[in-house]
Amino acid sequence: MDRVDGKTAFITGGARGIGLGIARAFARAGAKLALADIDQASLATAKSELSDLTPVETFLLDVRDRSAYARVADETESRLGSVSILCNNAGVAGDQHVTRLTYEYWDWVIGINLTGVINGVQTFLPRMLKRGGGGHIVNTASGAGLAATSSGLLYTTSKFAVVGLSESLRLALEPFKIGVSVLCPGPVNTKIISNSNDTRPSSSVTVEETKMWEAAITQANAFLAAGADPNQVGEMVLAAVKTDRLYIHTDRIMAGLIEARAKALLDAMPPAK
């Protein structure tokens, strides 16, 4: 997709953080925007900012809600035209210590980080295929989706799945001229931990869990503050869509771990005959 001007881009988690950075990049490039998020105030602020550049529609959406997703997709295409660029970006960075895992925590992280991506694909892909003419899908994973890190069991599991989904989806869609990219960022200067805290499972809202979250937020914010600017990440995503690039890395922080994982996989194989 050499040009995005005049195209409609649908971006989940589009009112804050990386999603807003992506929205800004596409707006400057002339794409029409549909921004979906769970934060109504941030949606209003984003629309106020970006409407001077391009047509913008905003939607309150929990990406786990398939019925709501279908309704929002209909409204988007009615107001802005067919969606050609889908950015499945909404996600949480919460996790739970292995000794305190619960089904509720699994459902929270997997539901948003993985099922949310699946819902986006399954909502919009049939429409893209029926219309023909190509398109592009961007799925936000993480560097933690390429090699295990200290990011946590739940988060890493969800992001590995998004990487695998994206790689296999790209192969499946090549005959239909629909590109697929997977964003695997390292640290980015966002408030994702604070935002994730707002949606964490109700069973974890105890004095002990709240103190642990407060400590994690303080530590994460200090780490992420030194990371990439979300607006720069947005420009990287735009460039990847234009050049149909599969992997989008924001830095080289995972290079050593990826190399070590690949070596371990190859070393574990039977000897060549």
Catalytic residues: 155
Residues 247, 78: Cα–Cα separation, whole Å: 32
Cβ atoms within 10 A of the Cβ of 173, count? 20
Residue 108 Cα distances to 31, 93, 166, 216, angstroms: 32, 10, 21, 18
Residue 271 DSSP class: P
CA–CA separation, 259 vs 223, rounded Å? 24
Inter-residue contact 234 to 23 (CB < 8 Å): yes
Strand order in the sheet with 178-184: 56-60, 32-37, 8-12, 83-88, 135-140, 178-184, 247-249
- The token duo for 265 is 């996989």
CA–CA separation, 167 vs 231, rounded Å?
A: 25
Q: Are 85 and 120 in contact (CB under 8 A)?
A: no
Element (H, E) at 138: strand 135-140
Determine the distance from the C-alpha atom of residue 49 to the mean position of all C-alpha atoms in its chain, rounded to a whole number.
22
What does the alpha-carbon distance between residue 71 and residue 270 come to, in Å, rounded to a whole number? 51
Asked whether the beta carbons of 139 and 162 are under 8 A apart, the reply is: yes
